[in-house]
Amino acid sequence: MVSDGKRKKRDRKSKTQTTLDPTSSTINDEVFSVNNVEIVNSTAPTSAKKHENRRGRPKKRPKHSPEKPEKPPPIVNGEIGVAPPVEGVNRVVPEMDAVVKVFCVHTEPNLSLPWQRKRQYSSSSSGFVICGRRVLTNAHSVEHYTQVKLKKRGSDTKYLATVLAIGTECDIALLTVNDDEFWEGVSPVEFGELPALQDAVTVVGYPIGGDTISVTSGVVSRIEILSYVHGSTELLGLQIDAAINSGNSGGPAFNDKGECVGIAFQSLKHEDAENIGYVIPTPVIKHFIQDYERNGSYTGFPFLGIEWQKMENPDMRMAMGMKSDQKGVRIRRIDPTSSRI
């Protein structure tokens, strides 16, 4: 028992000496060992590792990691950062630059006083450049014109334009500019074929609401014979669901290949209708251009010179002796000036 007590007392004495003189080289306590210091310093990464395991997510790799170098930008024709063109899709930049803004001063005639005219008023619309240093727009955009000026995209200069032809029936007008500066850096628009239903279209122009160019997109909703309000005629037309507002008149409608498939010219404004716009298709546009190139002026669209009636009434079909599988129309009248049938 005595030996045990002495051992305990001896242990306490050695502990006291260790606490009072920690710098002594004869002390072998593990509290001041180098290994213990390393354990104390490694508590920070240990806690971080526990915190990382608590999240349950792997550590994200930094963006600029040397293991995964950043992909360099493509080089096309010596230019850095130009993406390679996608197959089947043309650039829209040349077509956008070909769209111009049309400024017109109108002076309507006074039919009650033929020797004088009404008060002048101005309007703005859209147009686009085609081959042969010519510009297409709507006929109602330059109706009763006194002065017509054109302004290119990104320019403040207005160029005086000359009206070559006006097609009231098809609501198309052809312009040109004598100043050579106007045609610098402008690529003409190319025409495409008649689109099909649900084909994507993009209408470009200068509508109200701003001074810069505007782009609206939609699809072809309907293809049928439409009533042209300006000419009071019925010709082939396209109905689209892209927004066509005041100022869009005369602007081109492009397909997904960058080709012009029509000219925006009117829209339906009704409380029960939304996003109903109409476009003059390329067959009507090409007929107008070919007519001017062949004759030197616009001569119009041919007219059959008859009045006809649908045969949908079953009593009318029975009276005319039509069978159930027969189809056709009834000619009610032939104009005296029409050609013989």
Answer yes or no: are the C-beta atoms of 120 and 133 closer than 8 Å.
no
Length of the chain: 341
Q: Would you call 51 a catalytic residue per the annotation?
A: no
Q: Give the residue among 172, 205, 191 at the shortest CA–CA distance from 99.
A: 205
Q: Give the residue among 101, 90, 126, 136 at the shortest CA–CA distance from 255.
A: 90
Find the catalytic residue in 126, 141, 249, 267.
249
Tokens 């716009």 — which residue?
277
Q: Would you call 106 a catalytic residue per the annotation?
A: no
β-pair type (79-80, 158-167): unpaired
C-alpha–C-alpha distance, residues 206 and 127, integer Å = 9
Q: Give the residue among 55, 65, 157 at the shortest CA–CA distance from 103.
A: 157
CA dihedral 188, 194, 199, 204 (to 10 degrees): 30
β-pair type (329-334, 306-310): antiparallel
Q: Would you call 249 a catalytic residue per the annotation?
A: yes
* Greatest CA separation for the chain: 149
Give the type of residue at 17.
Q
In 229-335, the DSSP E strands lie at 233-240, 252-254, 260-267, 277-281, 306-310, 329-334
Find the catalytic residue in 171, 214, 230, 267.
171
Q: In terms of DSSP H, where are the helices of the chain? A: 2-20, 34-41, 43-55, 93-97, 282-295, 314-319
Find the catalytic residue in 124, 125, 140, 291.
140
| Token output for 83 | 């993406």
Catalytic residue numbers, as ranges:
140, 171, 249
